Amino acid sequence: MEANYKIGVFVGSLRKGAFSRQIAEILKHIAPPSLQLEIIEIGGLPLFNPDLDEGVVPAAWVNFRKTVAAVQAVLFVTPEYNRSVPAALKNALDVGSRPYGASVWSGKPGAVVSISPGGIGGFGANHHLRQSLVFLNVPTLQQPEMYLGRVDTLLDASGALIDEQTRVFLSGFLQTFSGWIAANAKP
């Protein structure tokens, strides 16, 4: 019997109707039965400040850390802002990485999907995020790389995926991610 994994999905854009949220929702619906994708919201997290971990820790941080700690793997779906990740996503990484020695990210298998209306599919954000994930000890799926360029042409007005070739590619990516999790998940 194949194991089931609870996957925390982090959407980089806070914009209403963001392409990254639409892709995250599509991934939830086409995921194999072994993967239970759940979007973990990051927009309400106060900006990271180490001083706050020494006093009354913000409730949003406590809840976020507990939620991330409860998943077996992580999936990031992000646009590219100025050749990097959006500030909200970087803030979520920082909040989850502390207090020092108690990172909720450590050892969780991960994967990155970057998207862009442009042609290179968020390449800069994808690789910048991977740099942080190396430090956070998130073993990140290497292949297939997932850059979705011209994402605005892949979706209809309601956010549904209209490109069958992309659906096949995303499905294969999720199947590979499922195997990656099985090989790298904590016992």
How do residues 150-187 score in pLDDT, each as one tens digit? 999 999 999 999 999 999 999 999 999 999 999 998 87
Distance CA 9, CA 13 (A): 12
What's residue 157's pLDDT? 93
Hey, what amino acid is at 150?
R
Query: How many other C-beta atoms lie within 10 A of the C-beta of residue 29?
Result: 9
Which segments of 1-86 are extended strands (E)?
5-11, 35-39, 73-79
What's residue 2's pLDDT? 62
Distance CA 58, CA 56 (A): 6
Average of per-residue pLDDT across 59-68: 98
Edge-first strand order for the sheet with 110-115 is: 35-39, 5-11, 73-79, 110-115, 147-148
Q: Which residues pair with 142 in a beta bridge?
A: none
Q: Report phi then psi at 75, rounded to 5.
A: -130, 125
Query: How is residue 24 written in tokens?
Result: 């995250």
Distance CA 35, CA 43 (A): 24
Q: How far is CA 184 from the centre of its chain?
A: 17
Per the CB < 8 A criterion, the answer to whether 89 and 22 are in contact is no
Which segments of 1-109 are extended strands (E)?
5-11, 35-39, 73-79
Which residue shows structure tokens 């854009």?
13
By residue range, what is the domain housing residue 119?
Answer: 5-184
Query: How is residue 129 written in tokens?
Result: 């995020």
What's residue 1's pLDDT? 45
Q: Structurally, how many domains does the chain consist of? A: 1
Q: How far is CA 116 from CA 26, 83, 96, 149, in A?
A: 16, 11, 26, 5
Distance CA 7, CA 53 (A): 26
- Whether residue 8 has pLDDT greater than 90: yes
pLDDT digits (tens, 9 = 90+) for 67-123: 999 999 999 999 999 999 999 999 999 999 999 999 999 999 999 999 999 988 899
Whichever domain contains 58, its CATH number is: 3.40.50.360
**Residue 51 has what DSSP assignment?**
G
Average of per-residue pLDDT across 62-68: 98
